[in-house]
Amino acid sequence: MSGVRVLVGTRKGAFIIEADAKREKWNVSGPHFAGWEIYHMKGSPADPNRIYASQSSGWFGQIIQHSDDGGKTWHQPGTPPGEPTTTPEGMPKGESNKFVYDTSPETGKPLTTHQWYDGTPHPWEFKRVWHLEPSLTDPDTVYAGVEDAALFRTTDGGRTWQELPGLRGHGSGSSWAPGAGGMCLHTILLDPSNSNRIVIAISAAGAFRSDDAGKTWRPINRGLHSLYIPNPTAEVGHCVHRIAMHRSRPGVLFMQKHWDVMRSDDAGESWREISGNLPTDFGFPIDVHAHEPETIYVVPIKSDSEHFPPDGKLRVYRSRTGGNEWEALTKGLPQSDCYVNVLRDAMAVDSLDSCGVYFGTTGGQVYASANAGDNWSPIVRDLPAVLSVEVQTLP
């Protein structure tokens, strides 16, 4: 293994941070797309030089960027200058930043509204792409989780996107409601052992699974208990913050919910709480060690209104027993006067022999541990607020 490439999305641009396998000396490049919000960047498992980025702005909307050289150069994979922007029949062509909800009667029920914060119906409106999940096998196929919640897919390298309408149309979509950050589809897990299985999560609707490659979907929220909704054990309405799995055991899922850390041993059919001795079970990210499927990481946050660590101490918690028994990892992390948050897509692991763990903060620091969390150090400390962190382990 020759090194790692850390892809960092921030409120004001993207940064790429690289090191060799020792992970001691880091080279920071960026900002790419300066001034734009980069909700997520992720490389293709099938071609590490192919990276996709979600670039967005309240002024100018959504842009998709694509690199074929590991992030050195980027381009928008849409219609090249000079080519027609309509089909020969005169219809507007798809574009790399065109995410249009499917309302055709052939593909299900044209769903027009979800619930607003006050319970009234609200029209579905595309705002941005929160998460990009490249196919495990095809660099040109990518799934996009968007706000307002829906799942899109490209099979042409990001030039055009089509909704997988069975998710919004499966029956509960009209009752989904936004969480505090918006109604976002933020987690997409592709099962390495079963190409037909996809698990996604929406805040605040819950987790959903497809076993036919995204055509049909059903909620998988049995066992979740959320006191902040009228029926705490409802089929949908849970504010799931993040789900993680280990690729060797895709049937085991770990969830950080708004409150509660949860585990499923049956691909989401049922969930049980594993918060155990955590100082607080509120938080956003959760991840799994690259080589130890029972070793998991969370970053406890004091509460849903105080989005900072308890006692001003930034602590990652690690469980080596698949949950319930947690240890605080503090070496190298600030243990006083620290009031940053770690967002749901801002933690990742590498797959070097000694597993590296990485996370970014709303204070602009990206911390790394080259020994599975025992010791931490900042690899960069003064970026804009970090929205996402992904890591590529390079051959």
CA distance 52 to 68: 9
Whole-angstrom distance, CA of residue 358 vs CA of residue 347? 6
174 is a site residue for another protein (CB under 8 A): no
Minimum CB distance to another protein, residue 72 (Å)? 16
* Binding residue (CB under 8 A) for another protein from 54, 62, 141, 187: 62
* 195 token code pair: 């190409």
Is 35 a binder of another protein (CB under 8 A)?
yes
Rounded to the nearest whole angstrom, what is the least distance from the CB of residue 100 to another protein in the complex? 6
- Residue 64 beta carbon to another protein: minimum distance, rounded to whole angstroms: 10
Query: Considering beta carbons, is residue 14 or 348 the nearer one to another protein?
Result: 14
Smallest distance from another protein to CB 78, Å:
6
* 8 A C-beta contact, residue 394 and residue 1: yes
For residues 86 and 165, what is the distance between their CA atoms, to the nearest angstrom?
Answer: 24
Closer CB to another protein, residue 9 or residue 78?
78
Beta pairing partners, 20: 3
- CA 112 to each of CA 102, 109, 115, 120, 148: distance values in angstroms, whole numbers, following the listed order: 10, 9, 11, 13, 11
Quick check: 182 binds another protein (CB under 8 A)?
A: no
Q: Which stretch binds another protein (CB under 8 A): 56-64, 186-194, 297-305, 355-363?
A: 56-64
335 binds another protein (CB under 8 A): no
**Among candidates 14, 56, 12, which has minimal Cα distance to 32?**
14
Query: Within 10 A of 374 (CB to CB), how many other CB atoms are there?
Result: 13
Residue 60 as a binder of another protein (CB under 8 A): the answer is yes
Shortest approach of another protein to residue 99 CB, angstroms? 9
Size of the site for another protein (CB under 8 A): 22
Q: Find out whether 142 and 151 touch, Cβ atoms under 8 Å.
A: no
DSSP classification of residue 310:
G
Nearer to another protein, 60 or 116 (CB): 60
Considering the rule CB under 8 A, would residue 118 count as an interface residue with another protein? no
Dig out the tokens for 258 from the structure.
């708004």
Neighbours of 117 (CB within 10 A): 11
Neighbours of 352 (CB within 10 A): 20
Query: Closest distance between another protein and the C-beta of residue 249, in Å?
Result: 41
Site pattern 74..113 for another protein (x: CB under 8 A): --x-xxxxxx-x------x--x-xx-x-------------
- Name the residues that contact another protein, by CB under 8 A: 35-36, 57-63, 76, 78-83, 85, 92, 95, 97-98, 100
